[in-house]
Amino acid sequence: MDIENPPSPTIALVDDDRNILTSVSIALQAEGFAVRLYSDGDSALKALIENPPDLVVLDIKMPRMDGMEVLRRLREKVQVPVIFLTSKDTEIDEALGLAMGADDYIGKPFSQRLLIERIRAVLRRTANRRVAPDAESEAPAVDPIVRGRLTMDPARHRVFWDAGEGRRGDVALTVTEFMILETLAARPGFVKSRDQLMDAAYSHDVYVDDRTIDSHIKRLRKKFRAVDHQFKAIETLYGVGYRFNEE
C-alpha cells in the first residue's frame, strides 16, 4: 500500500431513488470518494457483507427490505459505519435507528454538502477508535468523560445520564450531537458561542446557520428529558451561546 497516497474511502449508497443515487454519487466522487450504488436493500445486503465498504449511506424506507432490516442483518456479520437517510423526520425512527447501531441520521430533503460533512465526521470518529489487533494492548485507553451526572464514552460513542434513584439512562446521539455535547462538557460552566459549536461539529468549509446549532441543542435536550424530565444541564445564554452545568 502506498502510505503517502492511501486508497480513497469507499462509500456504499443504498436508496431506491435513482435521482439520489446519481446526484449523491457524483458529489462524492468529486470529493475523492469511491462509490458503490445499490437500489434496494435485499441486493445490497449480500454485497455489503461480502465486501464491506468504509461507510454505508442507507435509506430507511425501501421496498423488499427496508433500511432497519438491512442494518440489523448487517450488524450480525460486520461492523461498518452507517448513516441513515429518511424522509420521515420522527424521533421514533431516529431513536430506533441509533439504538440498532447507526452512527448518524439525516432527513430528506438534505444538503449534499452537509451529507458529505457528516460522512467525513463519521469516518474520522471511526478511524480514531479503530485499533490494530496486534497493537491493542499497547494503545492508551480513552477515558470516559464524567461531568456530574453525565458520562460520555468517546471510544464507544455512548452517553449515559444518571436520572437518580438508581436509574441510569443510555442516550442515543448522532455524531454531530455527540461532538456538540462533548465540546460543552469539556469545560463545564464556560460559555460556548454558536460559532465555537459550529467549528466543533462541522468543517470550516461547511456553512450552517445559527438555527442549525439551536436545533441540535433542542434535540439534545429532548433526548435527555426522555431519560430525566428534569434535565436542565444545558443552559442557554441568550445572545451569547450555551454552557453545560455540572449537577
Closest C-alpha among 188, 185, 150 to residue 168: 150
Q: For the chain, what percent of residues have pLDDT higher than 70?
A: 81
Angle between helices 194-201 and 175-186 (to 10 degrees): 130
Does 75 score more than 80 pLDDT? yes
For residue 136, the model assigns a pLDDT of 45
Does 4 score more than 70 pLDDT? no
CA dist., res. 60 & res. 97, Å (int): 9
For residue 44, the model assigns a pLDDT of 93
For residue 155, the model assigns a pLDDT of 77
Architecture label for domain 145-244:
Orthogonal Bundle (1.10)
For residue 133, the model assigns a pLDDT of 43
- Pairing type for strands 145-147 and 34-38 reads unpaired
Helix (H) or strand (E) holding 211: helix 210-227
For residue 208, the model assigns a pLDDT of 56
The average confidence (pLDDT) of the chain is: 82
For residue 8, the model assigns a pLDDT of 86
- Dihedral angle computed from the Cα positions of residues 209, 188, 170 and 128, in that order, rounded to the nearest 10 degrees: 70
- Residues near 26 by Cβ (< 8 Å), separated by ≥ 6? none
**Residue range 26-51: mean pLDDT, rounded:** 93
**Residue 158, beta-bridge partner list:** 153
124-180: pLDDT as tens digits = 877 765 544 444 444 455 678 999 999 999 877 889 998 777 677 889 887 788 889
CA dist., res. 191 & res. 234, Å (int): 10
Architecture label for domain 10-129:
3-Layer(aba) Sandwich (3.40)
Enumerate the domain spans of the chain. Answer: 10-129, 145-244
Q: Of the ranges 55-59, 79-83, 114-118, which is most confident?
A: 55-59
Residue 104 pLDDT grade (very low, low, confident, very high; cuts 50, 70, 90) = confident
Which class for 101: exposed (0-12), middle (13-18), buried (19 or more C-beta within 10 A)?
middle
DSSP for 51-90, please give it: S--SEEEEESS-SSS-HHHHHHHHHHH----EEEEES---
For residue 1, the model assigns a pLDDT of 47
178: phi > 0 → left, psi -120 to 50 → alpha, else beta; which? alpha
